[in-house]
Chain A
């Protein structure tokens, strides 16, 4: 089904925009008036208009609002009516929001990317960095033996020793977990390869 991702109005709109774009490239120095109007078409809706509608209908995608505004020449009233009426159309994939609001993360075609900010941009440094274990990472086998040997943790009467012991336990725990995870990743990779 090759045409299923574009319906007729969208197709028309794409053609329209392409047409304007081409016209703009071909005749960059026509009269002041026409260059102004083509510039407006190219720029699309003003960010504050999109903002205004987005505040009224927070559940709507900014891109769809922008797309509708772009098509009716920035008529906020008409867009509102349409939202209340049959709802907005899905903008074509190549439609871009005006520069200011492209920063907003809403891109309707990739829902997962806006759902998992946690996965896409870690806020916290990993444990190796945090515990400064970069140097110890490369001696994993030794660490492993260490853990099985010094199994029984003991309470020390000395404050400094306790502190150091706790630190050591945490580091061992991290390195062990990393080691295990590394093995698992390795296994998975082999599994995929075969």
Chain B
């Protein structure tokens, strides 16, 4: 079985699991089933955080050797968060292949392994929204604001949440 066939099979399986038993606040699936390597996910902002009530669309791109290599995840909405690049790319340890951390911020066990899944990624991202990782910020400005001017940070986040819902 070629690696991309393995990937398709596994992705299809994950899609089915996520449909039959979706985790709270997450909807995800391929944009089009003809291409199982591109997904769209909607993630609810975690409660008790400035992201509460928000809905954040993101795009997941899977490599041909998935699940050996992790997918890339990118928010397709405006999101102001220390671990999300201004481009929307998500920087979180579970999306990093092991042995690929030049800064040694992360333990190998937190990083990608073939036994992880889309569901685990999305749940991790959800908890990342609630608790930014200050150590290796992807958006330095957001990180500084989160650290030094929390209320301003939360204001921007709330603003984005409303704008994202067309309000």
- Do the two chains touch directly in the complex (Cβ atoms below 8 Å apart)? yes
A interface, CB within 8 angstroms of B: 112, 115-119, 122-124, 126-130, 137, 153-155, 159, 162-163, 165-166, 169-170, 173-174, 177-178, 180-182, 184-185
Report how far A163 CA is from B35 CA in the complex, Å: 12
Report how far A122 CA is from B167 CA in the complex, Å: 13
How distant is B144 from chain A, measured CB to nearest CB, in Å?
A: 8
Q: Are B22 and A126 in contact (CB under 8 A)?
A: no
How distant is B32 from chain A, measured CB to nearest CB, in Å?
A: 7
List residues of chain B with CB within 8 A of the CB of A155: 16, 19-20
How distant is B119 from chain A, measured CB to nearest CB, in Å?
A: 14
Query: Which of B65-73, B78-86, B103-111, B130-138 forms contacts with chain A?
Result: B78-86
Which residue among A119, A162, A165 has the maximum number of chain B CB atoms within 10 Å of its CB? Answer: A119
Report how far A126 CA is from B76 CA in the complex, Å: 10
B14 within 8 A of A: no
A-B contact pairs, 20 of them (CB 8 A): A116-B145, A116-B156, A118-B86, A122-B163, A124-B78, A127-B55, A127-B164, A127-B165, A128-B166, A129-B166, A154-B19, A162-B19, A162-B29, A162-B33, A166-B19, A169-B27, A178-B166, A181-B54, A181-B162, A184-B53
Q: Are A118 and B27 in contact (CB under 8 A)?
A: no
How distant is A14 from chain B, measured CB to nearest CB, in Å?
A: 30
How distant is A66 from chain B, measured CB to nearest CB, in Å?
A: 23
Q: Are A123 and B78 in contact (CB under 8 A)?
A: yes
Q: Are A170 and B33 in contact (CB under 8 A)?
A: no
Given contacts A124-B76, A184-B53, contact A118 B160 (CB under 8 A): yes
Q: Are B53 and A163 in contact (CB under 8 A)?
A: no
Report how far A177 CA is from B156 CA in the complex, Å: 19
Q: Are A118 and B55 in contact (CB under 8 A)?
A: no
List residues of chain A with CB within 8 A of the CB of B89: none
Given contacts A154-B20, A163-B32, contact A118 B145 (CB under 8 A): no
Name the contact of A181 in the complex, choosing from B27, B145, B167 (C-beta under 8 A): B167
With both beta carbons as reference points, the residue of chain B lying nearest to A126 in the complex is identified as B166
Q: A117-B86, A127-B165, A129-B166 are in contact. List 14 more A-B contacts (CB 8 A).
A: A112-B152, A115-B152, A118-B78, A118-B80, A119-B159, A124-B78, A124-B164, A155-B16, A163-B32, A163-B33, A169-B27, A177-B54, A177-B55, A184-B53
B7 within 8 A of A: no
B141 within 8 A of A: yes
Given contacts A124-B78, A185-B167, contact A118 B156 (CB under 8 A): yes
Report how far A174 CA is from B32 CA in the complex, Å: 19
Given contacts A116-B80, A173-B27, contact A126 B164 (CB under 8 A): yes
How distant is A30 from chain B, measured CB to nearest CB, in Å?
A: 49
With both beta carbons as reference points, the residue of chain A lying nearest to B139 in the complex is identified as A118
Report how far A180 CA is from B54 CA in the complex, Å: 10
- Chain B 112-167 interface residues, beta-carbon cutoff 8 Å to A: 141-142, 145, 152, 155-156, 159-167
B38 within 8 A of A: no
